[in-house]
């Protein structure tokens, strides 16, 4: 049974973000695609911020705030679950540094997202653009840190395929968002406003998939309860939990001993 667990945080975050985007977009379309005050004279397609700076500003602020709150809860929950052993544990200081860097940069991105919704593009266009850059760069750097962490975890725990799947999803997000963000900056710089608006909407919807991807990371904790799947436990404890007296136990125990010894050496080198 699934049960309500920590996996609900990214689901709520993604749903809040997607609902806000669809609400803004459908409102603009159903209103006859109006030309807002903040739009350039040659612009026909509204930016997200153009719509969010008008009558739907409360929805824009609420959607951005709710998304960041529940997404950050997802990050902190994952750290807690790995620390408690309900998810695969981080086995080195370097991995833990990556975790906290990802949280720090995600918080920076969260500040950028909330503030850009408050400082709208009508009254504070320059401040709005600064916070937009903070939002995009913060989450892209955070995603890169998470990719590095997951690459190490999936390399050390091949039997947990979900780690590899999550790693590739987040890597794809990071690469795609980076290139799309560069395209957005370039098109905006040369003042192709309609193309820039399309790219901005694309960025926003891709971000939705990234938020939902954390469901894959947190869902295993709902099934494992208080089990220790891997990490700081002894090889005997881990083998006993995983496969009991299965004939593969000795081989797995040897591999775990090797991994723990290697991680301890790496951690000693970092310290």
Q: Are residues 174 and 241 in the same domain?
A: no
Q: Are residues 180 and 50 in the same domain?
A: yes
Q: Are residues 36 and 139 in the same domain?
A: yes
Q: Is residue 271 part of a domain?
A: no
Q: Is residue 2 part of a domain?
A: no
Q: Is residue 240 part of a domain?
A: yes
Cβ proximity of 143 and 177 under 8 Å: yes
Cβ proximity of 202 and 62 under 8 Å: no
Provide φ and ψ at 234, rounded to 5°. Answer: -70, 160
Q: Is residue 38 part of a domain?
A: yes
pLDDT tens digits, the chain, 271 residues: what are they? 455 688 999 999 999 999 999 999 999 999 999 999 989 888 999 999 999 999 899 999 999 999 999 999 999 998 888 888 888 888 888 888 999 999 999 999 999 999 999 999 998 999 999 999 999 999 999 999 999 888 888 777 776 777 778 888 889 988 998 999 999 999 999 989 999 999 999 999 999 999 999 998 888 877 655 444 444 444 443 333 444 445 444 555 555 556 556 655 554 454 4
| CA atoms 154, 145, 218, 265: torsion sign | positive
Q: Is residue 151 part of a domain?
A: yes
Length of the chain counted residue by residue: 271
Q: Which tokens hold the place of 27?
A: 């409102």
The domain in which residue 262 lies consists of: 235-266
Q: Is residue 175 part of a domain?
A: yes
Helices (H) and strands (E) in the chain, counts: 9, 0
pTM, entire model? 0.78
CA distance 6 to 200: 30
């Amino acid at each position: 049974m699934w049960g309500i667990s920590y996996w609900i945080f990214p689901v709520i975050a993604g749903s809040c973000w997607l609902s806000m985007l669809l609400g803004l977009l459908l409102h603009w379309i159903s209103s006859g695609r109006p030309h807002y005050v903040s739009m350039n004279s040659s612009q026909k397609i509204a930016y997200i911020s153009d719509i969010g700076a008008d009558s739907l500003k409360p929805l824009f602020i609420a959607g951005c705030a709710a998304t960041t709150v529940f997404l950050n809860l997802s990050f902190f929950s994952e750290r807690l679950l790995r620390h408690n052993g309900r998810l695969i544990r981080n086995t080195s200081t370097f991995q833990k540094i990556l975790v906290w860097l990802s949280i720090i940069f995600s918080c920076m991105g969260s500040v950028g997202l909330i503030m850009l919704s408050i400082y709208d593009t009508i009254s504070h266009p320059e401040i709005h653009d600064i916070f937009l850059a903070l939002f995009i760069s913060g989450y892209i750097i955070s995603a890169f840190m998470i990719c590095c962490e997951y690459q190490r975890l999936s390399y050390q725990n091949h039997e947990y395929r979900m780690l590899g799947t999550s790693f590739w999803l987040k890597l794809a997000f990071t690469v795609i968002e980076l290139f799309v963000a560069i395209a957005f900056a370039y098109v905006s710089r040369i003042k192709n406003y309609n193309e820039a608006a399309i790219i901005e909407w694309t960025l926003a919807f891709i971000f939705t998939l990234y938020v939902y991807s954390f469901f894959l990371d947190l869902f295993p904790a709902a099934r494992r309860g208080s089990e220790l799947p891997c990490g700081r436990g002894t090889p005997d404890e881990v083998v006993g939990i995983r496969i009991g007296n299965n004939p593969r136990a000795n081989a797995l125990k040897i591999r775990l001993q090797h991994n723990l010894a290697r991680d301890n050496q790496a951690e000693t080198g970092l310290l």
